[in-house]
Amino acid sequence: MTRYYQRYSRGVVLGYSRLVYSSLLLYMLALVLVYYCQDGINRPLSPMDEQAIYYIRKHWIEPPTLPPARPPSSSSLPPNRPPLKYPSWAESEGWGRAFQLLKDFFSQYKKPGTYVEVGAGDGEFRSLTLYLEKALGFRGLLVEPHPRLYAEMREKRKGANTIHACATPDYGHRLDRDLGRTVGVQCFNVGTMAIAALARSIVDLVVISTGGGEAEIFASFPSHFEAKVVVLVMTVMVNEEWDWIVEGAANKGLKLVRSFDTHHIFINNKRVSLTII
């Protein structure tokens, strides 16, 4: 009886030790994720960052529920003006010209590319990636913190990876204007989310349209993450802010090529040769 009791006691102690160790490990990982939310990462990935990427991929990224669209041949496209190629919202100046430029440029791709859209809304209205996914077979990641819009997006964009989160540097909570209350939303670095979802550090297009904080999110791109084309949808209030954006873009190898109202398009000089008509 004494031997059984000793064996039982050792089992209880061992089980408790494992529980404490697991709790400590989860706490340390939580600290890492908070670090991602509060600071832009401007250094190569370390082993701990790899764990954070794995955690986001496993617990936060929702994968597509449909396979990637098969790009149609030019002869199969209808001659009329389908909503996908000519959405009604594209009739506005800035949105329309940015949409047309991206559509024309990425239609030249021989293979489907990749995208990340931060502030994706419901996935259709004013989405600069919808055509790329549905018509050209691009695969990508849609980032949206608004609970209602995120649910709609999951229904409308079944071919995309999605994440119900916001991008850094806004950490902690986000004001939900539609509901008139504050909703807690987890935030991650945009580059980290892209790597977690797409398993690559270079993407063809990043669109940032968050209604505030676009410049800071753009500045938080880590050094291990590259975008060939970046679209910032924002109103620049003062020249100093614009100078800071352009200078920061240049440090990332990105050059401003066009500004359409609130749409500012940058390209990676080393990876893209883009002729604007």
Q: What is the pLDDT of residues 49-75, one digit of tens each?
A: 788 889 899 999 999 998 877 766 544
Number of domains composing the chain: 1
Within-domain flag for 222: yes
Within-domain flag for 6: no
Please give the residue range of the domain that contains residue 217: 39-268
Within-domain flag for 121: yes
pTM value is 0.77
| Angle, alpha carbons 41-218-196 (nearest 5°) | 55
Within-domain flag for 273: no
Low-confidence ranges of the chain (pLDDT < 50): 4-16, 19-48, 74-75, 81, 170-176, 277
Contacts of 103 (CB under 8 A, 6+ apart): 85, 131, 132
Within-domain flag for 29: no
Residue count of the chain:
277
Phi then psi dihedrals of residue 55, to 5 deg: -65, -45
Q: Is 15 exposed, middle or buried (0-12, 13-18, 19+ CB in 10 A)?
A: exposed
Model confidence pLDDT, tens digit, residues 100-152 = 999 999 999 999 999 999 999 999 999 999 999 999 999 999 999 999 999 99
Phi then psi dihedrals of residue 233, to 5 deg: -105, 100
Within-domain flag for 46: yes
Within-domain flag for 4: no
Q: Which of 65, 64, 51 is nearest to 198 (CA)?
A: 64
CATH of the domain at 203: 3.40.50.150
Within-domain flag for 25: no
Check residue 202 and give its pLDDT: 95
- Report how far residue 166's alpha carbon sits from residue 227's, in angstroms, rounded to the nearest whole number: 19
Quote the percentage of the chain above a pLDDT of 70. Answer: 71
